[in-house]
Amino acid sequence: MITNQPLPSTMKAVVLEAPRRLALRDIPIWPIEAYGDPDLVLVKVAACGVCGSDYRYYAGENPWAMHTLGRHVDNPPNIVLGHEFAGEIVAVLDEKNARLLGRRVAPVCSKVCGTCPECVSGQTQLCPNTVHLGHGQGWGKRDFYPGAYADYVPAWGSGCFAIPDGLTYGEAAMMDILAVCVHVADQGNVQPGRPVLMMGAGPAGNGIAQAVLNLGASRVVVTDIADAPLEAARRRGFDAVVDARGKSHRVLVEELSALAPEGFGSVFDSVGGRDSFELGLRLLGKKGTLVNMAVHDLDIPVNFLRLGSERRIATSSNFATGDYPWALSWLESGRFVVKDWLTEVRLEDVPRVFAEADGAGRRAFKLVIRF
Ligand SMILES: [Zn+2]
Ligand SMILES: [Zn+2]
């Protein structure tokens, strides 16, 4: 191991010991030399986003498996959550990665196998052999599963992107979600000149709404039922921001149809429930695409008349290899703006934030752990 500073033998980490049991612990620093991959590096974490999916892991779900494999997979005990992070590279294994030491980076949080049919066909977002930070996938059996709710985290040198000057660590930690937004937006067959509906305006919804405008949508209408996402959407100046709180299906159909009389060319659903699905399908225009980015184990009957005129339904929630540099170029050039998203929290406060179902942390638009 080649390092640019002395490293401690233990570190602080927030460990998901079992569903709904999150604890701040001192655990051994990640033994990257024992993992059998010379591309691994060690990153001193400067910022790590709290993702919506982290709350699902906390509750005992495994959304990665549901989205990527299309089935349930149990989580192992002792996961260190956290896959949206940025920091400084402080140790490498391979001489050819030595040039990365000391670099400020926003690392890709996963490594795909490169040899399965999905990887070979360029659909790396569906690789079943992905090794992933922040949940148990791909690490075999470990005492602790690596993630970035910790002072240090492993990453892959080949997936470490330098943070452009002018971007903070907090902004750079949003790269994972922005890469997802780019990929999901790209699955929506956004047609220049046609309006887009974004249901659910949390960070993913806000990012997708920004992405579809970058892709040439004529207008984007966003809906939500909570203050923070609605305020963030208004600040960003999206074409219409609809507060859906307390409104019936009929009222919402009327209100949203008035904003897109020909129907929406693309509808994105970050909620993934029955109500949002039925509403989205109802508002989808001819040849439109409805993208569900929050897959739940849920049966919903569909009247296929609603899918006439070449309407289609898709799901999407991971990014492919090429989406990350694409998103980074938009962040660097100001076509993605995330400055006003962030509320900072300390690592030691994270267990409390998760336990308080309706606390201030949960009401924030986007939490970022600062170290
Ligand atoms: Zn995430
Ligand atoms: Zn693969």
pLDDT exceeds 90 at position 66 = no
* Listed range (70-84, 161-175, 212-226, 356-370) with the worst mean pLDDT: 356-370
Q: Tokens 């399965």 belong to which residue?
A: 116
**pLDDT, tens only, 294-334:** 888 899 999 999 999 999 999 998 999 999 999 999 999 99
The number of angstroms, rounded, from the C-alpha of 207 to the middle of its chain's C-alpha atoms is 10
Average pLDDT of 350-358? 89
Residues 208-217 have a mean pLDDT of 97
**Ligand 1 mean position, distance from CA 368 (Å):** 12
Q: Mean pLDDT across the stretch 133-143?
A: 93
Give the Cα separation of 229 and 226 in Å (integer). Answer: 6
The mean pLDDT of 284-289, rounded to a whole number, is 98
Topology of the domain covering 2-174+338-370: Quinone Oxidoreductase; Chain A, domain 1 (3.90.180)
User: In this structure, which ligand is nearest to the CA of 204?
Assistant: 1
What are the residues whose beta carbon lies below 5 Å from ligand 1 (ion)? 51, 53
Residue 363's pLDDT band, with cuts at 50, 70 and 90, is confident
Strand, coil or helix: what is 221? Answer: strand
Distance CA 208, CA 271 (A): 13
Phi, psi (rounded to 5 degrees) for 296: -120, 160
Closest by CA to 270, choosing from 173, 188, 174, 176, is 188
Distance 60 CA to ligand 2 centre (A): 25
Residue 362 has pLDDT above 90, yes or no: no
> Which ligand neighbours the alpha carbon of 148 most closely?
1
> From the CA of 293, which ligand is nearest?
1
The end-to-end CA distance of the chain, in Å, is 24
| Residue 88 in this model has a pLDDT that exceeds 90 | yes
Rounded to whole angstroms, the Cα distance separating 352 from 354 reads 5
Ligand nearest to the CA of 126: 2
At the topology level, CATH places domain 181-315 in Rossmann fold (3.40.50)
- Residues 109-124 pLDDT 10s: 999 999 999 999 999 9
Q: Mind spelling out the 3-state secondary structure of 306-366? A: HHCCCCEEEECCCCCCCHHHHHHHHHHCCCCCCHHHEEEECHHHHHHHHHCCCCHHHHCCE
- Whether residue 154 is predicted with pLDDT greater than 90 in this model: the reply is yes
Domain boundaries, the chain: 2-174+338-370, 181-315
Q: Do domains 2-174+338-370 and 181-315 have the same CATH topology?
A: no
Average pLDDT over residues 212-228: 96
* Biggest distance spanned by C-alpha atoms of the chain: 65
Q: Which ligand is nearest to the CA of 50?
A: 1
Whole-number average pLDDT of the chain? 95
Q: Residue 64's pLDDT band (boundaries 50, 70, 90)?
A: confident
pLDDT in tens, 47-62: 999 999 999 999 999 9
| pLDDT reported for residue 347 | 98
Q: What pLDDT sits at residue 70?
A: 87
Spacing, Cα 131 to ligand 2 middle (Å)? 10
Averaged over 256-279, what is the pLDDT?
96
